[in-house]
Amino acid sequence: MSTGLRYKSKLATPGEPGACPRARARLCPRRPPASHRVFPSLPRTPARTRTPTRPRPRRGQAGESGLGKSTLVHSLFLTDLYKDRKLLSAEERISQTVEILKHTVDIEEKGVKLKLTIVDTPGFGDAVNNSECWKPITDYVDQQFEQYFRDESGLNRKNIQDNRVHCCLYFISPFGHGLRPVDVGFMKALHEKVNIVPLIAKADCLVPSEIRKLKERIREEIDKFGIHVYQFPECDSDEDEDFKQQDRELKESAPFAVIGSNTVVEAKGQRVRGRLYPWGIVEVENQAHCDFVKLRNMLIRTHMHDLKDVTCDVHYENYRAHCIQQMTSKLTQDSRMESPIPILPLPTPDAETEKLIRMKDEELRRMQEMLQKMKQQMQDQ
Amino acid sequence: MDPLRQSPSPCSSRPSSPKTPPCEIHGYVGIEDVLDQVKIKAMKMGFEFNIMVVGQSGLGKSTMVSTLFKSKVWKCTLPGLGMPIPQTLQLKSVTHVIEEKGVKLKLTVTDTPGFGDQINNDKCWDPILGYINEQYERYLQEEILITRQRHIPDTRVHCCVYFVPPTGHCLRPLDIELLQRLCRTVNVVPVIARADSLTLEEREAFRRRIQHNLRTHCIEVYPQKCFDEDINDRILNSKIRDRIPFAVVGSDQEYLVNGRCVLGRKTKWGIIEVENMAHCEFLLLRDLLIRSHLQDLKDITHNVHYENYRVCRLNESHVLPRGPCWVNLAPTPPGPPVAPGPSKVCRQAREDSDDDEDDY
């Protein structure tokens, strides 16, 4: 049910096993991870206590065109999501508004399945007049919250799909001297709705001293403008020293200076992901070259669950409280009886959703029938 | 003679009338010593060159200027670095006299911090066009005086270097809007800024796409095809046109590479040498601006762009020049006059002057 797909993906739709071998291969790097925590918090997932739904993080990304967002997504998840993408020409860009493109991919590693949805925002910041260019994005985030709110308040709560955006990767241009007005505008519009992780894109055009200065500058400006970016949680005092050291390094490197690449090059006799320049080779997974490994570890290995928690406990709750307040104030205005359970007016479902609902109902009925049969059989025995 | 070319400049070597028959000389006269005389005069007077750099902040404009002229053009801290983005576009000019082997060059660099940095960049090109037209106006006012100075100070912008951000995709709407307007008023040389973020293949692909965009939108960057005078020019300029926009990297720091001291940027994976053709095309830009086409840039500014401006202004004041008397110009109208493309105005000027001749 990925709406708005503009291109045919070569990957499987969720549920088709074995159709995307590349996506399944090598989520872990060649070197063994320093921390042994691959999906550490999955056993503690509250989702497990409901039905065995798979963890499904949803990631949005925003930033001007040409900052390497798509390439970075390739590198992070080692998947080729945008193979058939058509880049717009200049004429087409002039009349373009910001689009929202969703792409879902299933990743599996050692029996643990991950349903990942990437939301891309082509056209952001491209126009001459970028006033409110973040509006389509805030609308999208709100829409997902609203959908979840409806589902949560609805009758059939067993199959709620969590489409809320758990993390937003914001790509800051390395060519500026800090945050641009568009960057500040976007982050202020979204920092109360979604976890924002700012990144410095295309970091291979900066020398180390410039990266340091830029990071300091960005941190200062984030404080100055009162932007609430995603804060890494404090680690517990009973964690081992290694982990604490890693955590410290992580916090000090924010915002991460990243480089992405889809090409494999030969460096020092090894085949690595990198970019080949006449003056040298940039290795994406070399910690001395960029913070890509830190970002990947943070997003997937150590902080994925925390991102989802903060989305559920903080951003969604804020949205929900705000929504309920609005509704109750509207009800009192209409001078009707105050309902303790806020009931949202049911939307008129479109044909596709109706079909899906019918399908799900059929499935449920079939499963119930099967259960009945099995119970009968057991009783007969 | 090419109908699109305006009247030749005083220092053009073309004969005044195409019909003068060549005359043979029977011995050595010494005409070539004229070149020495010109050289001595030029050394005394020095040269002027005015360059403007346009682009978003952080694209390395100020560093590029310092690299081009191998001197700290911005004596104080580089504008834009460490300072907040200005709310409106403010143009900053700085003038230096650079001397090399007795030849003096009075260089004026105009920077445009704040261009394209706002959320709403509509009409952010107006201050730039206003500045350029203001310089033309200043020159015009000096030119039409009854007693004019022997050497009119030339503050007109001879070349505008436009820095395209290295997105790797294609020109953005803002780039196209600005280039369309700039190309009608001044010589524009677009460059791909901070090209060290693109690999060689990405650069080529980006360059081709930009060239395609320029053709589609009829943007004529320098060297313009219509001003090639002869076959040699065309060959030389075609080579340049094929490489435009140049992918450049600027730096004012020196590092030791293979025993030589070179300007470059030192990263963890290697040193990017600014003057190495295998690394970037800075040398092509420098040669174009300084070593081979400096005089041509000035000539085209004077003979084409400035003349277009002059014709527009005179048309506005509804008084056309009659013989050697000076012109009564109305005061400058508010806002810059909109000058159409060079070719159109040239043809119109030709028709006007033809009409004039019929009147006498």
Tell me what the mean pLDDT of segment B4-15 comes to. Answer: 39
- What are the residues facing A196 on neighbouring strands? A168
Choose among B59, B81, B172: nearest Cβ to A126: B172
> Torsions phi, psi of A68, nearest 5?
85, 25
> Torsions phi, psi of A129, nearest 5?
-110, 110
Checking if the pLDDT of B10 tops 60, the result is no
Where residue B194 falls among pLDDT bands split at 50, 70, 90? very high
Q: Sign of the C-alpha dihedral, residues B225, B231, B233, B235?
A: positive
Each residue's pLDDT tens digit, A89-123:
555 555 556 778 888 888 777 888 888 888 888 87
Each residue's pLDDT tens digit, B199-209:
999 999 999 99
- What are the residues facing A270 on neighbouring strands? A267
Residues of A with CB under 8 A from a CB of B: 64-67, 87, 89-91, 93-94, 126-131, 133, 173-177, 180-182, 185, 202, 204-205, 207-208, 275-283, 288-289
Query: Between A and B, how many residue pairs show a Cβ–Cβ distance under 8 A?
Result: 117
Tell me what the mean pLDDT of segment A327-351 comes to. Answer: 64
Residue B202 and residue B204: Cα distance in Å, rounded?
6
- CA distance to partner chain A, nearest, from residue B289 (Å): 24
- CA distance to partner chain B, nearest, from residue A87 (Å): 7
Cα A220 from chain centroid (whole Å): 25
Q: Is residue B171 less than 8 Å (CB to CB) from chain A?
A: yes
Pick the most confident of A30-34, B24-28, B346-350.
B24-28
Among A147-151, A337-341, B59-63, B68-72, the minimum mean pLDDT is found in A337-341
Q: Is residue B202 less than 8 Å (CB to CB) from chain A?
A: no
Q: B interface mutation test: which of A92, A172, A214, A277 has the most B CBs within 10 A?
A: A277
Tell me what the mean pLDDT of segment A307-323 comes to. Answer: 89
Tell me what the mean pLDDT of segment B50-54 comes to. Answer: 94
B267: nearest Cα among A171, A288, A268, A213: A288
What tokens appear for A100 in the block?
A: 């929202």
Tell me what the mean pLDDT of segment B197-222 comes to. Answer: 93
Residue A47 and residue A309: Cα distance in Å, rounded?
11
- Greater model confidence, A41 or B236: B236
> Torsions phi, psi of B209, nearest 5?
-65, -40
Answer for the pair B339, B312: CB distance below 8 angstroms, yes or no. yes
Checking if the pLDDT of A83 tops 80, the result is no
Residue A59: Cβ-neighbour burial (10 angstroms; 0-12, 13-18, 19+): buried
Q: Say what percent of chain B tops pLDDT 90.
A: 38
- Greater model confidence, B85 or B151: B151
Q: Which amino acid is at B12?
A: S
Phi-psi sector, A275: left (phi>0), alpha (psi -120 to 50), beta: beta
- Please tell me chain A's helix, strand, coil percentages from 3-state DSSP, rounded to the nearest 5: 40, 15, 45
Residue A106 and residue A117: Cα distance in Å, rounded?
9
Contact B167 A174 (CB under 8 A): no
Contact B267 A280 (CB under 8 A): yes
Contact B172 A282 (CB under 8 A): no
- What are the residues facing B110 on neighbouring strands? B52, B93
Q: Which amino acid is at B291?
A: R
CA-to-CA separations, A199 to A65, A80, A255, in angstroms, rounded: 15, 21, 5
B219: nearest Cα among A95, A91, A130, A64: A91
Checking if the pLDDT of B80 tops 70, the result is no
Helix (H), strand (E) counts: chain A? 11, 9
Residue B338 and residue B185: Cα distance in Å, rounded?
9
Where residue A21 falls among pLDDT bands split at 50, 70, 90? very low
Residue A291: how many other CB atoms lie within 10 Å = 24
Choose among A65, A202, A288: nearest Cβ to B169: A65
Where residue A326 falls among pLDDT bands split at 50, 70, 90? confident
Checking if the pLDDT of A351 tops 90, the result is no
Contact A280 B120 (CB under 8 A): no
- Based on its alpha-carbon atoms, the radius of gyration of chain B, rounded to whole angstroms, reads 22
Each residue's pLDDT tens digit, B84-139:
556 667 888 889 888 888 888 899 999 988 888 888 888 889 999 999 999 999 99
Residues of chain B contacting residue A208, judged by C-beta atoms under 8 Å apart: 267-268
ipTM above 0.85, yes or no: no
Residue B66 and residue B98: Cα distance in Å, rounded?
12
pLDDT on residue A82: 53
Q: Please, which residues have CB within 8 angstroms of residue A294's CB and are 6 or more apart in sequence?
A: A249, A250, A253, A256, A287
> Torsions phi, psi of B95, nearest 5?
-120, 135
Where residue A298 falls among pLDDT bands split at 50, 70, 90? confident
Each residue's pLDDT tens digit, B250-278:
888 889 888 889 999 998 888 999 999 99
Q: Which amino acid is at B27?
A: G
Q: Is residue B86 less than 8 Å (CB to CB) from chain A?
A: no
Checking if the pLDDT of A246 tops 90, the result is no
Each residue's pLDDT tens digit, A165-197:
999 999 999 988 889 899 999 999 999 999 999
Q: Say what percent of chain A tops pLDDT 90.
A: 16
- Greater model confidence, A196 or B8: A196
